[in-house]
């Protein structure tokens, strides 16, 4: 007679499940998922929530639909949920119909000129984000980014950072946190202990930060200390190796980083959440179950986006049974999670049609765009904008996870200024525009005749690096100038690309830079150059999805 297998401890299983945060689409239907490799189907999602999974991270859909989705998820769950999103640039960055704000680096630039105004706007940025997140049913904002972007070659932080110096980032993220907390929403400082000086994207590879402990204390750690001092609710880990602290494991899986440094030296007693464990910096080196166990061993409380949620549950259960993880440690993590939930539990979810009445803060977005707009040269002439000569509206769009489905283009037919201009879109799926000539890299014969308005949408992009930034745009601008065909240049996103192109740009050529990539930013930039009376709300062209 065979011995029956032991019955799993149901309370332990629910305890373990409460420490997982899984990914779901903001859309209600399975067929609407944009990233099914990461976003669970509704059947599996509902099953996991009924097992006690404690959190969901959402991406995509309209603000009104996400509000319904949050209610649906909470109805499926057997415990109050942490409902979060990466809304670093306002809720409209992920969910259409809410405020999509210029990226935080614009305030880092303003901080150097007018610190008091920058701090006031950072606080307002936090209030706007918190208010709109709460109105949708989200109770946790995965921001601010506390990384000091002191490396222009950083392919993944870039404009997501609040500045390029520790002082600016510390001041601005503290102000953002205070604004967010005033709206009754949890915040999350990321990516500890600092991802700003890497030249490798941890979504794709495992970066190494070779700095010593003194350098970390001087540059990377001050913004996190400032947010901890301001009462930040959570800290997210970074998938990078710091040999000065741990030569074997990345920060997400390192006790020296999470327990000794974050808990011990910095005194943080809130939630420690991993960055997504599906990122290749982790998943390429560790199995889904082992990564989850190692993260908890290191001192993390919550496991975000394990590559396989059920494998993570099983591995953690086995680790407890073997003594590798203690139940007491998991209960301490669950207590931290509950304390965080208690801080936002008094904020009720809106009822009725409130989400549909959400009013985006266009005034805040406009103020930030106007303060961060840079331009040089003159204005485009009547011969270019009058519609008689024709020309090319050449747009390089670097598709990325930061943008919602309606990526801006403002195509020619929607702008009176572009009568006679033909829109040519270059994005990752487009035929290559490049020739084999280093000094004449653009295939002008394929593009056609006429003056060229060159618009470059380029920024640090998770999972993609900065492919467009590495393209020969400086040589292309020189080529267009030699043939007297460059009518104007606009760069949206990376200030580093803009700075590099200024070095080769004829100062008489109309040119502008905006950190924003939304239609509102494009309308303002083009209008500043004299391209007609553009309207900021237009321009969601067809087909521009990841």
In this structure, the strands spanning 55-59 and 82-85 are: parallel
Q: Which positions ≥6 away from 206 have C-beta within 8 Å? A: 200, 239, 240, 241, 250, 281, 282, 284, 285
Cα separation, 53 vs 174, in Å, equals 31
| Residue 427 near residue 468, CB atoms below 8 Å | no
- The whole-angstrom separation of Cα 490 and Cα 479 is 17
Query: Residue 213's CB: how many other CB atoms inside 10 A?
Result: 13
Of 111, 191, 203, 239, which residue is the catalytic one? Answer: 203
Q: How far apart are CA 194 and CA 235, in angstroms?
A: 11
* 422 and 393 Cβ atoms separated by less than 8 Å: yes
| Helix spans in 373-422 (H) | 382-385
Catalytic-role residue among 147, 246, 275, 361: 275
What per-residue string of b and e applies to 328-341 under the rule 16 or more CB within 10 Å gives b?
Answer: eebeebbebbeebb
Class of residue 260 by CB neighbours under 10 A (exposed 0-12, middle 13-18, buried 19+): middle
Q: How far apart, in whole angstroms, are the C-alpha atoms of residue 143 and residue 141?
A: 6
- Quick one: CA torsion of 5, 10, 12, 15, rounded to 10 degrees? 150
> Is residue 342 among the annotated active site residues?
no
Q: Is 269 a catalytic residue?
A: no
Contact present, 154 and 209 (Cβ < 8 Å): no
Over 224-262, what HEC string results? Answer: HHHHHHCCCCEEEECCCECCCCCCCCCHHHCHHHHHHHH
Residues involved in catalysis:
203, 275
């Amino acid at each position: 007679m065979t011995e029956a297998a032991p019955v799993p401890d149901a309370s332990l299983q629910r305890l373990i499940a409460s420490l997982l945060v899984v990914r779901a689409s903001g859309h209600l239907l399975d067929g609407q998922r944009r990233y099914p490799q990461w976003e669970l189907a509704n059947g599996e999602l509902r099953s996991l929530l009924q097992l006690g999974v404690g959190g969901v991270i959402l991406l995509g859909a309209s603000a009104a639909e996400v509000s319904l989705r949050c209610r649906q998820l909470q109805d499926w769950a057997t415990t109050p949920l942490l409902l979060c999103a990466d809304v670093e640039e306002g809720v409209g960055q992920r969910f259409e119909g809410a405020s999509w704000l210029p990226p935080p680096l614009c305030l880092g630039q303003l901080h150097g000129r007018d610190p008091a105004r920058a701090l006031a706007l950072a606080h307002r940025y936090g209030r706007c984000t918190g208010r709109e997140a709460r109105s949708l049913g989200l109770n946790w904002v995965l921001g601010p980014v506390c990384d000091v972007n002191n490396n222009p070659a950083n392919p993944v932080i870039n404009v997501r950072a609040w500045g390029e110096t520790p002082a600016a980032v510390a001041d601005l993220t503290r102000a953002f946190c205070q604004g967010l907390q005033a709206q009754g929403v949890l915040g999350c400082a990321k990516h500890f202990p600092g991802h700003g000086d890497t030249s490798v994207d941890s979504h794709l590879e495992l970066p190494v930060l070779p700095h010593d402990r003194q350098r970390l204390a001087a540059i990377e750690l001050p913004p996190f200390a400032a947010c901890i001092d301001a009462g930040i609710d959570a800290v997210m880990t970074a998938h990078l190796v710091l040999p000065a602290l741990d030569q074997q494991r990345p920060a997400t899986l390192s006790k020296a980083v999470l327990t000794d440094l974050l808990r011990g030296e910095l005194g943080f007693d809130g939630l420690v959440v991993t960055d997504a464990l599906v990122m290749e910096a982790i998943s390429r080196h560790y199995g889904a179950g082992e990564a989850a166990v190692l993260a908890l061993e290191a001192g993390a409380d919550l496991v975000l986006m394990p590559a396989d949620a059920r494998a993570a549950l099983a591995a953690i259960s086995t680790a407890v049974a073997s003594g590798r993880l203690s139940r007491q440690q998991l209960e301490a993590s669950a207590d931290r999670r509950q304390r965080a939930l208690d801080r936002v539990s008094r904020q009720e979810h809106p009822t009725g049609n409130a989400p549909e009445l959400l009013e985006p803060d266009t005034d805040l977005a406009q103020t930030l765009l106007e303060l961060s707009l840079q331009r040089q040269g003159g204005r485009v002439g009547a011969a270019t904008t009058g519609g008689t000569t024709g020309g090319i509206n050449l747009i390089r769009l670097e598709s990325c996870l930061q943008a919602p489905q309606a990526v801006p283009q403002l195509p020619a037919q929607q702008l009176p200024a572009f009568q006679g201009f033909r829109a040519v879109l270059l994005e990752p799926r487009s035929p290559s525009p490049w020739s084999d000539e280093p000094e004449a890299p653009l295939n002008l014969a394929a593009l056609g005749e006429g003056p060229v308005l060159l618009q470059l949408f380029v920024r640090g992009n998770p999972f993609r690096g900065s492919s467009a930034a590495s393209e020969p745009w400086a040589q292309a601008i020189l080529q267009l100038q030699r043939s007297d065909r460059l009518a104007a240049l606009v760069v949206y996103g990376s200030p580093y690309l803009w700075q590099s192109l200024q070095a080769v740009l004829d100062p008489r050529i109309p040119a502008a830079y905006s950190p924003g990539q939304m239609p509102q930013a494009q309308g303002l930039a083009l209008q500043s150059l004299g391209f007609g009376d553009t309207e900021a709300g237009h321009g969601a062209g067809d087909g521009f999805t990841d």
